[in-house]
Structure 1
Amino acid sequence: MFVEKKGGKQKMIDKGTLLQQITVEAAPASHPLGNTAPCIFFPEGEQEIVEILKYARQNRMRLIPMGGGTKRGFGGVEEMADAILSLSRCSGIIEHSPGDMIVTVRPGTTVQELQNCLAEYGQMLPLDPAWPAYATVGGIVAAGDSGPKRLRYGSARDHVIAMRVVYPDGTIIRTGAKVVKNVAGYDMNKLFIGSMGTLGIISELSFKLRPLPKAERLLLLSFSEGEMDAIRGFIRSLQDSRLEPVSLELISPTLAGRLGEKPEYMLAIAFEDVESAVRYQEAWVRSCAPEASLGRTLIGREAQMWWDAFACIPPYGLEENGVETRIAMKIGSKNTDVPDIIAVCHHLGQDRGVTVEAHGGAGHGISYIFFTGGTEEELASCADATRRLAQDRGGYAIVRHAPLSLRRRIGAWGEVPAHFPLLEGIKHTIDPDRILNPGRFIGGI
């Protein structure tokens, strides 16, 4: 096989196979986030993915699967692989059944593109990852991504009902079924969700959908530095009530200021339902929240625009050279620990002269911490302190985004879990030659 340049692009030429139809382009020589390669394959369908994987296995090529590229800084300590397998051209809706509320899509479809199409039918995919205009459905499933609204709607694990996956040897498997209720056998979908593309290439996904809410309101409550007890008390009262918020997100003062609000601790409480239910829940918050904390209420499109801005807060893998160094960390903890975690991280930034923006779900226990500025030494110190903070509370902390040099220093995943031999055994069984995303997952899998 060889590469022929034509019109600024390149074509893989290998007589007698589909490889001659696959576009190949040169990639930048290096990237500060690593996870790059000399060339990028652009398959446009499942059979082309099969041919690339077969060729890679025969020639012991290491491949990095990639969708929109927003998670380039997540995991891995190697700068270069042999090639990137881009799924950005494997996009579009394959099948949509509005009556059954099921959609089947190709992995390179962006979240925003899918949501726009579904909105025409009054439906939505209830996932709210960061950077939806660039993040692809295959990428968010492979990375196990989610957002603040997982409190009500759950994560990708709750909405993927079927997949087609291409194994490293080119074998195509199907998992799940295109029905909402499917209880037969093991749920193989969950094997691939969050596996970082280390077990196979997702070539097709089926999701169960939800109707678009008839009404939407977002209430923003602000609390001063010394009112952490009031925050905890109000959160407990709300959770003990019959209210069903889609988000109950606690936001640090620095991040609140960046979002154009008062630079104080802020609770973002969202309700999505029929108009009467939303109004009832809003009235409850207004009657039970400390009066001084009540801030803006955003309705409908205003609320959606606020969440759009919120989704663009995290760093992402499409940033170019010269952008200020940032680290993003994800903490999993008991939901009751979230106020303390957000407060401690905020003070950590003040003490060490590093900008810290943080938010956490007081209902689901997932927090995100973003460190900006400072030297690599200072950023690494903040990341280590954050990891200890989570572990001291029985939780975990992983690095969701960092330059390659920092990932090598602090590690993305933390300590190897007790069940690591099981993960390693699965990887060895499915990908014994380690051609897919080597070193990208827990323990260097």
Structure 2
Amino acid sequence: MKFILSLMVCFTLMACQSTVVDAKNTANAAESVGFSSQRLDRIAPAMQRYIDQGKLAGTLTLVARNGKIVYLNAQGMQDKEAGIAMTEDTIFRIYSMTKPVTAVAAMTLWEQGKFHMFDPIAKYLPELANMKVYVSGSGDDMIVEDAKSPIRIIDLFMHTSGFSYGFSNSEVDKLYQKMLSKPDELNRDNILTKFAELPLTHQPGTAWNYGVSTDIIGFLVEKLSGKKLGEYMQETIFSPLGMKDTGFYVPADKVDRLTQIYTADKTGQTIVMEKEPVGDFMSDPKIHNAGGGLVSTMQDYFTFAQMMLNGGEINGVRILGRKTVEYMSSNHLPKNLIPYSKTSQGEGYGLAMSVTVDPEMTGFMTSKGDFGWGGAASTYFRVDPEEQILMISMAQFVPIGFHRYHDDFRNLVYQALID
């Protein structure tokens, strides 16, 4: 079951004013919006080092400011073994970069008054009522207690719900792993009940823990819209924005554009990943994985991210209101939960995205209010409203962070600012 497997874990681009940016003219575009084209050219050799060292097969990087693309470069290979070069219209598994898209889909319903942030999720998905919380012990000796408060919808957006992913060796995650090891016993009718049978990692709202929270937001969208998640996304986001290559699977006539996916063997050498998360993306899954099931292209994700930077609108098409985007991209974590993880100093969390609250602590050049997220296969995006900068980097190596090329990319973007 593709959903279960996932839990274990251009052509021409258009600017927001519908102006076409030719890659040959990005140098002029860069200077016109306060970037040094010469300094932006430092990105290519930095990415090439990862390729030449055999760490990454290829990269696709984009930088935009004020709606103008100032840097766009495809390097290396889409598929080394097949000899297919990386191109601007390569299709990527974006995994957890699906989460912001799911959040936008949900927020279109929030704007219509279909739910409130502090509503208990059990109001809409009753399977998730009466949750238990882990206290101590393991196996038959595990001690749990009643949840002291219900899981609120905003807890799902912020990953403060207590749900997990099964990624660690914690006692709760061992239960996730055991459940997920029997995919034939899980289906759309019982998956929420199965989640509810597992204890939460902490009392709702008291800690940050990455897990299936956004997947559950996807079930909420389906319940409130009466449509399958991908169908609702297509009608409310993809079709209006012209995102032609984004969805929960790759049609047969586009499979040749889907990049190969890689990982590391026990010695750290890059190899083809044989059992990729979320299956092979070759057919429409029964469950649309709201937390990590989308594929997309640079064209499409640029359009989506620029819409967010523009305050919910691009090319005359409005998806969300300006204040809605501001709410999504604002930190909602209390001070005692910042940073949300030890490896994310200076970062708070908004709705399905991290948000920079203390730039001096991040270790990167950035701005307060910068927001974004990444995907398991080393896809990454950040939006900086203060500087009106958008950056996206695409690769296909699991896990993200094994080769921290996106850290280099982030600093290389900011060092090129000259205004």
Give the alignment's TM-score, normalised by structure 1.
0.27
Higher strand fraction (1 or 2): 1
Task: Give the alignment's TM-score, normalised by structure 2.
Answer: 0.29
Structure with higher RCO (Cα < 8 A, 6+ apart): 2
Larger Rg: 1
